[in-house]
Amino acid sequence: MRNLFPRWVNTIPVKVILSLGIIGGTVTAGITYYATPKYTRVGYQPTQPVSYDHSFHAGQLGLDCRYCHHGVDKSSHANIPSANVCMSCHKNIKADSPLLAPIRDSYFGEDENKDGKLSEGEDLNDDGILNEGPSVPWVRIHKAPDYVYFNHAIHVNRGVSCVECHGRIDQMEVVHHDKPLSMAFCLECHRNPEKSLRPMNEVTNLAWSIASKEEEDSHITQFHAGLDIKNKWGVNPPLSCTGCHR
């Protein structure tokens, strides 16, 4: 009865502990890498119903962000432009492009002869109103959770550029999710706003970076300039829950 268990049994606890450690470590590492917004969100690049090219419009043509997203400095939402914004140019430019069909459908709707008036046979649901067509179903890329109340107006007006959260949209042919937009990401900037603050007029200039003297690191120049802006404007981003959660 002396050797009921073979000798190697003695190593079991060590092995168990070791493998548990490895499994635990892998799971933790896996979750930290694969289950955080850095991995789950960044790179999300859905196909849009209209292949709108930001790098062309905002980059090459130099349209200001606010031409289309005109609510961004007034509202909590940066609105997706309604079809009439597109049509203000595309009535004349590429007016018949098949790629723009969904936009035209949405804009003209029941107005089949495109004269802007209610004509014979156009009032499809008989309500006496010339109705617009179906909305263009743009696919949402950036989405804060329901319990987060992000406000665009305050950021844009207080010197935080679009580029800080959305990346170089002006270089994207198809827009993708560029930054993690996790709570840690938000807090990083709320704790150190000076790293991101810039003059108000440069907010929509995605290519802007501070002009630094040759011998100085641009980060340091930005830090000092940002600090200056922070103090002059009294920028004091909220770090408490109520800032974003209501």
Residues binding another protein (CB under 8 A):
40-41, 44, 46, 70-71, 73-77, 79-85, 106-109, 132-140, 143, 145-147, 149, 151, 153-154, 157-159, 191-192, 198-202, 225, 228-229, 232-234, 236, 238-243, 245-246
Burial, 224: exposed, middle or buried (Cβ in 10 Å; 0-12, 13-18, 19+)?
middle
Minimum Å gap between C-beta 131 and another protein is 8
Residue 197, phi then psi, degrees to nearest 5: -70, 140
Nearer to another protein, 2 or 232 (CB): 232
169 contacts 54 by C-beta, under 8 angstroms: yes
Nearer to another protein, 2 or 140 (CB): 140
Residue 130, phi then psi, degrees to nearest 5: -80, 105
Minimum Å gap between C-beta 86 and another protein is 10
Q: Alpha-carbon distance 163 to 143, whole Å?
A: 16
Nearer to another protein, 58 or 197 (CB): 197
Minimum Å gap between C-beta 1 and another protein is 44
Nearer to another protein, 14 or 126 (CB): 126
149 contacts 245 by C-beta, under 8 angstroms: yes
Minimum Å gap between C-beta 11 and another protein is 35
**How many CB atoms are closer than 10 A to CB 187?**
14
Nearer to another protein, 15 or 245 (CB): 245
Burial, 51: exposed, middle or buried (Cβ in 10 Å; 0-12, 13-18, 19+)?
exposed
Minimum Å gap between C-beta 169 and another protein is 16
